[in-house]
């Protein structure tokens, strides 16, 4: 009887951990996709040229920052571009 109880508790714990990890991973993936979409929209609408700056472009570093950082990463790239630091 105790073996079954231990097995059920372990299954519940494993499922809880898996649910937590999938939930966090979904948020990270969504943030990365939104960051890349926002970068594409910024470059398509040429928002940076409205401020007298060149577009951000699609270099490997820019895409990695947007993919890993998401929307805050795009904001950092825009602010760096505004003050004159290009990546």
Residue ranges covered by each domain of the chain: 2-82
DSSP for 23-63 reads: HHHHHHHHHHHHHHHHHHHHHHTTHHHHTT-------HHHH
Model-wide pTM > 0.85 = no
The per-residue pLDDT for 17 is 92
Q: Decide if 5 contacts 28 (C-beta within 8 A).
A: no
pLDDT tens per residue, range 21-73: 889 999 989 999 999 999 999 999 998 888 888 888 889 999 999 989 999 99
């Amino acid at each position: 009887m105790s073996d079954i109880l231990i097995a059920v508790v372990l299954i519940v714990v494993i499922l809880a951990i898996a649910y937590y990890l999938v939930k966090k991973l979904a948020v990270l993936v969504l943030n990365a996709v939104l960051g890349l979409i926002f970068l594409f929209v910024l470059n398509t609408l040429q928002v940076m040229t409205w401020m007298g700056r060149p577009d951000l472009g699609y270099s490997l570093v820019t895409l990695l920052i947007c993919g890993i950082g998401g929307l805050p990463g795009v904001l950092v790239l825009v602010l760096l571009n505004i003050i004159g630091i290009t990546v």
